[in-house]
Structure 1
Amino acid sequence: MRFGILGDTRAWRDDGADVPLGGPARRALLALLLVRPGAVVPAERLAAELGPAGVPSAHALQSQVSRLRACLGAEASIERAGAGYRLVVADDDVDACRFERLAAEGRAALGSGDVRRAVTVLTAALALWRGAALAELPESEMARAAAVRLEELRVGALEDRIEAQLLLGEHRTSVPEPRLDEHHAVVPELRLDEHRAVVPELRELVERHPLRERPAGLLMRALSAGGERAEALMVFEETRRRLAEELGTDPSAELAQLHRELLNTPSSPAPSQLTSFVGRDDEMAEITELLRVARLVTLTGPGGVGKTRLSVELAATADGEVCFAELASLRDGTGLTQTLLNALGLRQNGLQLADGPRTPLDRLVSALSDRPLLLVLDNCEHLVDDVAALVARLLATGPRLRVLATSREPLGIIGEHIRQVRPLNGEAAARLFTDRARAARRGFIPDPTLIRRICAALDDLPLAIELAAARLRTLSLDDLAVRLDDLLSVTARGNRTPDQRHRTLRSVVAWSWALLSAGEQRAARRFTVFAGGATAGAAVRVCGTDEETLESLVDKSLLEAVGGGRLRMLETIRAYGAERLNAPDERPEAAHARLDVAHARHDAASEREAVRRAHAQYFLDLARTADPWLRRAEQLDWLPILISEHDNLMAALRRSVAARDVETALRLIGAISTYLWIRGVSASAAPHAITLLDTIGDTPPPVLGEEYATCVLVAASTIAGRPAWQRHRAAAGEALATAWPGDQPGKYPAALLLWIMHNASEAEPHDAYELVAAQRDNPEPWARATSLYVTGFGHLGEKEPGPAEHAFHLAADGYRALGDRWGTALALDVLAGLAAGRGDRTRAVELTDEALALTDELGALEDSADLLVNRGDHLAADDPEAAGADYARAAGLARRAGSPAGLSAALRGLGDLALLRGELGKAERLYTDALERIDPHWVKSVGNRVRTLAGLGRVAEARGDHVTARARYRQSAASASAIGASVPDALRLLGLPEPLVEAVLS
């Protein structure tokens, strides 16, 4: 027999027939017994809920119970238990319980990335609702509380289902055909071909829950994905206004971040285009079909022929997920892997031991190993060997990955499909010129003969045509044709060797450049110092120009406005402008200002050096301004700014190091060190730090000691920096101790935490510990909080849990008072572990939830995955189902982040649950998989390895294989001893439950 309380109270027999329940009193009695199936409800409580005016009759209650028993018959039993009654029924036979189970399964599937299953399961869960929960008990206090809880779960499940539906829509994936679930509930068909399908439902949900932010965020996402970005921004404004008026609060950090994303076009998708796409219909159709079967397609052809634009259009119409990576700004292959990680939205690993983190390449391979993705690599020609090696590796390890590359030459990989992108045909070239000319000049009247002549002189290259048409703002069509004849040599037009193609395009850019005024040329060539574009304010300051000149360069297509107040320069023009910055101007009108060629070269070198210094100084000032706020509540405002300028920060550092400008380079490293650490991208600066240390030699600069110490720490963030770390560690320690004497603040307190982390695995870490612990009275509050945090670990090592917990509480309070989410999350995680260690798992979960909220604000996938595993460990004993959901979600986040260590921890947790259920084979597979993925350079890898080996020992012991069990326990104990404490103490410090400790020590 099945029962329903999600609507009016009903009962059905196995054949689907309704069970007659009688009058309202019996139906109400049944509903109260079904609130918690199988649980005893005191008779006094039932009578109070059912009786008139709160004065019930015990005899009347007994009579109603008897009548309800008669209605239900032998298929369902109402038992008298002590002073109450209970209905003996399986949870899954009650629609509310079945709904809760399916909702939890759906949320877990969503967290693990299985959005197809999430949509199916959540749809089935929501289909169980027939109306308001416990609708026939409006006056019952007991029913009202249960109904409120169920309604909250219903809204959450609806939000989860819509989010999963949006994700499916983004991937353009269909949903299974309608079917019946295991309880014969119809799972309706969903239309996910458009994001607009969920908009009406979301609008209704937002209207019913105007102060609930998640539906508003989902509605913003759905509208934006459907091309209605303005409406999405209006939803944010309406939500912000309601929150301010009714609650006096601002939108959450998550909703504010979504708002910022809508305002700023992300770099990972293909860049949006403002102009029509002309003349490539046949190529589009052919290459689209090719991409359905081929895993590597390379578009080749001369610069300016339209390879990038064609790849953008192909990406925009491709099925499934697309990631677009622009490689033009890279000087060499050293930053290639990190560029792809950034495009995929992945940051570097978080806390790591000093022996060296897993390489960025390993991270990239892991992130793409099972991800269905089209990766577009634009402008590969200057990195062809490095790109070829990387693409071959990624395709070999990622069976669901496809790559579309643009290059002036093939990558040369077996299996590569090469498609030559040729100039436009005559008709398409003329249409392109006419289209752009009409945009540049109102009332433009085309002359087909002149247009054909102009396009032919430009080799029908799309970029050259667009630049020429833009000149019609100031020139007539006749004047333009004359100037083309005067300025361009087209004698090599039919020869397609790379050098001559480059020279033809150079002529087009040179012509466009020559039409600029002297001030515009100066601003344009100086703008080439920026990497990844710049804000207008940065360009004005670094280029020594004004906004009017920049606007003129935008009008003349030398610069492009890309949203968010940023400007960028097409790479072809940027390369030409960089040559002008690096070489003397040989125009006749400038010759009289120079005595000879030597003077001209000197002038060019002087300007180049001045621009480099101006660029470095601007971004040094920006980093210095941002740094103190990164350890305060304003970190959410400043981190996006620094992230958008990451390429410029790295370019400024690289050029300063190359110029042997030690002072500027050290100041830059110091100023960006906190940003690098919080974001997890220290590896991108590590090669420059290593080179800088080689330049400095064995004698650190006397004035910049703290900056020198941060340089050593940044160098140590990669395996390649280990020699530099060992060579400079002692001097860096002395410099840091001088900068932070304990009673005076230094400049970069994050270096203190990095210092203790990198010294954790050294033979004598005591000096590092004492340096950080000595900051307990420092005027700098972040340093004081860090001192308390480190002191807590010292107390743990001395077996003083009380003082340790007190220190961690004080550290958390210190970080929290500053608004630093990252430091607070670190302290809360340790406090959660201590609470779990003394058996207070409820408190451990509360603390972990608080830490998770903070890491979610920072967008730290790996840190969130780690915290989810910890919460699962806290819940496993009492609520294995919830623990399993946490482990599954952690696994999904770890896979998205490309983190084998995070995934191994999640798999270990799932193995623990399988072992608890007696599923020995499954547990062994999960433990084995986890053991293979463990990254030994993560701080928490020791604990995870200990738990995994102990789990394999318990599996062997359960099978009666005591020899293998003993070997596994010995391996577990040996791993535990690596932290330096006695094995029993180490096992307990690592958070192992007491039964497991006893098993390992037995």
Structure 2
Amino acid sequence: MEFGVLGPVLVGGREVAAPRQRALLAMLALDAGRIVGHDQLIGGLYPDRPAGAAHAVQSQVSRLRRTVPGLVVEHHAAGYRLVADPVDVDVHLCAELLTAGRGAQALALWRGRALADVEAPFADDARARLEELRISCVVAGGTTADLRGLLGVHPLREDVRAALVRALHRDGRQSEALDVYAQGRELLAGELGVDPSPDLAAAHLEVLRAQAPHRGVPAQLTSFVGRDEDLRRVVKWLGENRLVTLIGPGGTGKTRLAVETAAREPGEVAFVDLSATTDVARAVLDGAGLREAGLLSAPVSVEDRLLGALRTRSVLLVVDNCEHVVDEAARVLGAVLSHCPQVRVLATSREPLGITGETLSPVAALDDEAAARLFLDRARAVRPGFTADPGVVTQICRGLDGIALAIELAAARVRSLPVSEIATRLDDRFRLLSKGSRTAAPRHRTLHAVVEWSWDLLTDAERDLAARFTVFSGGAGLDGVTAVTGSDVDTLTSLVDKSLVEVVGDRYRMLDTIRAFCASHAPDLRADHARWFLTRAQLAEPHLRGHDQIEWLARLTDDHDNLTAAVTWATTGDVGLALELVAALATYYWCRGLRTEAATRAEAVLRACGETAPPGREQEYALCLLLAWPVATGDQTARIRQADALLDELRDPPRYPIMTLMWGMALGAPEDDSQVWHRRNNLLGDDPWSRALALVGDGLVAWHGGDHDKARRMLADGARWFGQLGDRWGAALAHNQLGEIALSLGDTDDALRCFDRGRGLLAELGAAEDTAEAVISRAHARLVAGDRAGARADFELGLAQARRAGATNVQAGGHLGLAELARLGGDHTTAMAECDRAWALVPGGWYGPDQMRCDIARERGRIALAAGDLAGARTHFEDALRRAVGQRNLVTENALRADLAALPAAAGP
């Protein structure tokens, strides 16, 4: 018999009508299995203790026994006992579930207010105790809505607030989580005069250290059939090991099993497909949702950036199709596992990676039952209501060796072929192929046969398109497929129907095994492919500077593998075409933050070209020089001079306006007005985007020259022009610089407004590193405004975001901010240590890093001065001044001269 007190009192699912019997049952159930004393029962039922109260209790017990048949209430000398297992009472079961960590199940037992229909005197005290239990259930297993409601009733409960912060964080609602913490911190300080508890502070830190969990698990369009036991095993092994590799021949279902396993994993998951690349580190970086660079990029290798971004993250990497890059995959993943202790890896490969600690989980052929279920499931997807002789289905599946991909391909044919015909054709085909070499790989004896059989079922037009389709890397859109292959839409959709090509969103892709087979029949279309994607890039370029910026960035990102393949082929196959491709993609590379990739590809093209520009492509050659400058070997200054000389010959604005920005960043601030005139007349067009860029550039020159009013006017006009054009990147750049000027003038309100505006624009672009940089700028503004707590929170948040993106230059800015906080707090040792951390993170040889070194040197001088080390202060200020002069930044230069001039006065009493 079951009893309930977490709501109206129930016994066996029914209510007890008589109020005193209901109260008596509640008292006995709350102590089920234990004796409840006479005095406790009398006090609970008859608080005035009238004469004969003991007999009245005895009478109520008798009535309760008659009311509830089968109820056993024993009488003892000391009182009465309800004979029941405590877990048969919902309150005791609730406590047990809570102890076992099953908070959601415990919370589900509550049906409303505890003892809702009991008015006896004991009920108020009992309800107060039970309310604490309910709060614990909500904290352990409640939804965000449950927790918000509870926090509204108990705003000072820190355990409830910490649970809500964590729940919002798990849901990817980081901003709300931080707001809930900030409100609690203010409430605790105002009401109680205390700081947040360690648990609430820890919940806050968890949000600061990580963004919303990256869930990179590909969505699946079909059901998961036949590998339930494999799934349980892999989930278990993944919980016990940091590297699990699913091995087996192609087509057995390794990828699908990996995806299903990842979908059941809590927290952050990143999916990495290596099938269309040989650059493992970059593929993992992209799969983990990381941008390569921000407004100021760092000159670190992709692998170092990957390790930096993953070093403190708890993430499951699902790395698919390792077999064709197994050595490189083993090296990169081995480094990740060695340097990033919270990362786990679930890999798929046709052979082991050979890394120490690797756990192998073979993915074998499906057994007869599972294979038959898979065949029927996929057949009914293309032909609803499909039925077949179980013996024939088993014959087909066995003929296909239980290989999942082969079974799915065969099942797709039931729409056009009788199942008996499928069985006959498969039997003939595999009998012939089974007589091949015994030393051949299993995939050559099974999947090759299946794909070849599918190939034989195609029409000539379908075969031609399937072969031509293999020129694409990572798939393509409809316009690209039809243009490059010369085929028609009907033939393409026919290949989709026959499972040779699959549709993902609005793009078409070919399974890796099928692509490998079809490629052996393909003509060489790489030149056509490269020329089409050049046209695509040229079409996109002006849109990247306008209102369609986000849409066109997304389109080019979808085709990134194709663009890379086009540049790679053209570098050796048609260097003129390669120059045009890199130049056309420069704006895309810059806006998306792929500057290391841009520099590397531009440098390769320059090496293929030689020392001089091909006739007619001087602009493209000059732009490649500017792109490649940060990673170029040899005399970098000579590279810039060569680009400058080529651009000096221009009599009209460049074909790609991004060249103006690149030239300005490479050469730095102009030395005099004649150089300004030269650049303006040679490189700036009269189009709106170029005029907006001119305003921002002139504003920066005015600021560095000390004319703050002129700088603010120009930058504000530039921001407005960029905004009207729809270029979020340009507008964000202008707003961030306006914020820096406002901050230098002590106008913290305006600085915060500008930084927040820039941050919002960058968030629209998905610029994680740029957003982190904006958060750190906002922290500086809060520090100047006197809000040290808010500044620290922003510095820590910005650092966490920068670490996720592997952005070392932005991390340096965060540590520099923490150094200033420590100095203002009198902790000079910590302040100098934070400066050292910042210095170690500043990259060398990239656009503008010396300004950060200048800022660090100045902060070191301030720390030395605060500690009484005047000689050290002078050394650091002079180092900073030398760097400011080199940057031609008059504002910083004047401030440092003032710092140095004030040193003698600081030596006095």
- Give TM class, smaller chain: 0.7 to 0.9
Matched, 1:738 2:649: yes
> 2:508 matched to which residue of 1?
567
Residue of 585, 603, 610 corresponding to 1:690: 603
Deviations 1:633-656 (A, max 9, x none): 221222112111211221222222
TM-aligned CA deviation for residue 696 of structure 1: 1.8
2: CA distance between counterparts of 1:430 and 1:734? 71
> 1:462 matched to which residue of 2?
404
TM-aligned CA deviation for residue 580 of structure 1: 1.1
Residue of 861, 872, 880 corresponding to 1:967: 872
Which runs of 5 or more structure 2 residues have no equivalent in the other structure? Answer: 1-141, 200-210
Matched, 1:546 2:493: no
> 2:171 matched to which residue of 1?
166
CA contact (8 A) 1:687 1:715 kept: yes
> 2:339 matched to which residue of 1?
397
> 2:285 matched to which residue of 1?
341
CA contact (8 A) 1:970 1:1000 kept: no
CA contact (8 A) 1:296 1:417 kept: yes
For residues 218-297 of structure 1, the aligned pairs below 5 Å read: 269-297=216-244
> 1:577 matched to which residue of 2?
518
2: CA distance between counterparts of 1:310 and 1:734? 58
For residues 402-421 of structure 1, the aligned pairs below 5 Å read: 402-421=344-363
SS state of the match for residue 521, structure 2? helix
CA contact (8 A) 2:627 2:662 kept: no
2: CA distance between counterparts of 1:496 and 1:998? 86
For residues 470-869 of structure 1, the aligned pairs below 5 Å read: 470-489=412-431, 499-563=441-505, 565-581=506-522, 607-608=523-524, 611-659=525-573, 661-717=574-630, 719=631, 721-723=632-634, 728-739=639-650, 741=651, 744-760=652-668, 771-774=678-681, 778-796=685-703, 798-869=705-776
CA contact (8 A) 2:769 2:805 kept: yes
Deviations 1:452-496 (A, max 9, x none): 332222221111111112122211122112211222347659999
Matched, 1:978 2:883: yes
Q: Kindly tell me: are residues 290 and 277 of structure 1, through their superposed partners in 2, closer, same or farther at Cα, counting changes over 3 Å?
A: same
1: CA distance between counterparts of 2:438 and 2:249? 8
TM-aligned CA deviation for residue 186 of structure 1: 15
2: CA distance between counterparts of 1:996 and 1:476? 91
Deviations 1:584-631 (A, max 9, x none): xxxxxxxxxxxxxxxxxxxxxxx42xx323322332222222211211
> 2:796 matched to which residue of 1?
888
> 1:931 matched to which residue of 2?
839
TM-aligned CA deviation for residue 309 of structure 1: 1.2
TM-aligned CA deviation for residue 992 of structure 1: 7.5
CA contact (8 A) 1:759 1:765 kept: no
CA contact (8 A) 1:488 1:511 kept: no
2: CA distance between counterparts of 1:993 and 1:345? 44
Q: Kindly tell me: are residues 796 and 934 of structure 1, through their superposed partners in 2, closer, same or farther at Cα, counting changes over 3 Å?
A: same
1: CA distance between counterparts of 2:440 and 2:325? 15
CA contact (8 A) 1:715 1:724 kept: no
Q: Kindly tell me: are residues 441 and 864 of structure 1, through their superposed partners in 2, closer, same or farther at Cα, counting changes over 3 Å?
A: closer
CA contact (8 A) 2:253 2:405 kept: yes
CA contact (8 A) 1:759 1:768 kept: no
TM-aligned CA deviation for residue 273 of structure 1: 1.7
CA RMSD of aligned residues (A): 4.1
Q: Kindly tell me: are residues 934 and 968 of structure 1, through their superposed partners in 2, closer, same or farther at Cα, counting changes over 3 Å?
A: farther
Q: Kindly tell me: are residues 776 and 482 of structure 1, through their superposed partners in 2, closer, same or farther at Cα, counting changes over 3 Å?
A: closer
For residues 177-192 of structure 1, the aligned pairs below 5 Å read: none
2: CA distance between counterparts of 1:493 and 1:401? 45
CA contact (8 A) 2:322 2:329 kept: yes
**2:879 partner amino acid:** A
2: CA distance between counterparts of 1:709 and 1:699? 10
CA contact (8 A) 1:914 1:920 kept: yes
For residues 321-332 of structure 1, the aligned pairs below 5 Å read: 321-330=268-277, 332=278
TM-aligned CA deviation for residue 401 of structure 1: 0.3
Deviations 1:8-57 (A, max 9, x none): xxxxxxxxxxxxxxxxxxxxxxxxxxxxxxxxxxxxxxxxxxxxxxxxxx
**1:293 partner amino acid:** E
CA contact (8 A) 2:295 2:770 kept: no
2: CA distance between counterparts of 1:524 and 1:724? 48
CA contact (8 A) 1:953 1:966 kept: no
2: CA distance between counterparts of 1:527 and 1:639? 24
TM-aligned CA deviation for residue 783 of structure 1: 2.4
Q: Kindly tell me: are residues 433 and 749 of structure 1, through their superposed partners in 2, closer, same or farther at Cα, counting changes over 3 Å?
A: same
CA contact (8 A) 2:799 2:810 kept: yes
TM-aligned CA deviation for residue 949 of structure 1: 4.3
1: CA distance between counterparts of 2:409 and 2:675? 60
Q: Kindly tell me: are residues 666 and 861 of structure 1, through their superposed partners in 2, closer, same or farther at Cα, counting changes over 3 Å?
A: same
Q: Kindly tell me: are residues 817 and 427 of structure 1, through their superposed partners in 2, closer, same or farther at Cα, counting changes over 3 Å?
A: closer
Aligned length: 738
Q: Kindly tell me: are residues 772 and 493 of structure 1, through their superposed partners in 2, closer, same or farther at Cα, counting changes over 3 Å?
A: farther
Deviations 1:274-300 (A, max 9, x none): 222222222211111111121111111
TM-aligned CA deviation for residue 917 of structure 1: 2.8
> 2:388 matched to which residue of 1?
446
> 2:250 matched to which residue of 1?
303
CA contact (8 A) 1:122 1:158 kept: no
1: CA distance between counterparts of 2:364 and 2:684? 69
CA contact (8 A) 1:371 1:401 kept: yes
CA contact (8 A) 1:865 1:890 kept: yes
Deviations 1:866-912 (A, max 9, x none): 22222222331323233233323312321222212212212221232
2: CA distance between counterparts of 1:541 and 1:666? 22
CA contact (8 A) 2:268 2:315 kept: yes
Tell which structure's C-alpha radius of gyration is larger.
2
**2:238 partner amino acid:** L
TM-score when scaled to structure 1?
A: 0.67
TM-aligned CA deviation for residue 317 of structure 1: 1.0
CA contact (8 A) 2:706 2:891 kept: no
Deviations 1:548-577 (A, max 9, x none): 2121111111111112x1111111111111
**2:493 partner amino acid:** E
Judge which range, 665-674 or 441-450, deviates more.
Answer: 441-450
**2:526 partner amino acid:** R
TM-aligned CA deviation for residue 431 of structure 1: 2.1
> 1:135 matched to which residue of 2?
none
Deviations 1:222-275 (A, max 9, x none): 9xx9xxxxxxxxxxxxxxxxxxxxxxxxxxxxxxxxxxxxxxxx9x72222222
TM-aligned CA deviation for residue 767 of structure 1: 9.7
**1:738 partner amino acid:** E
CA contact (8 A) 1:408 1:498 kept: no
2: CA distance between counterparts of 1:414 and 1:647? 32
Q: Kindly tell me: are residues 726 and 837 of structure 1, through their superposed partners in 2, closer, same or farther at Cα, counting changes over 3 Å?
A: closer
> 1:210 matched to which residue of 2?
none
CA contact (8 A) 1:119 1:161 kept: no
Matched, 1:904 2:845: no
**1:483 partner amino acid:** R
TM-score when scaled to structure 2?
A: 0.73
CA contact (8 A) 1:755 1:768 kept: no
CA contact (8 A) 1:927 1:951 kept: yes
For residues 43-192 of structure 1, the aligned pairs below 5 Å read: 163-164=168-169, 166-167=171-172
Which runs of 5 or more structure 1 residues have no equivalent in the other structure? Answer: 1-115, 131-155, 191-220, 226-265, 582-606
2: CA distance between counterparts of 1:426 and 1:886? 59
2: CA distance between counterparts of 1:798 and 1:716? 27
Identity of aligned residues (%): 38
> 2:81 matched to which residue of 1?
none
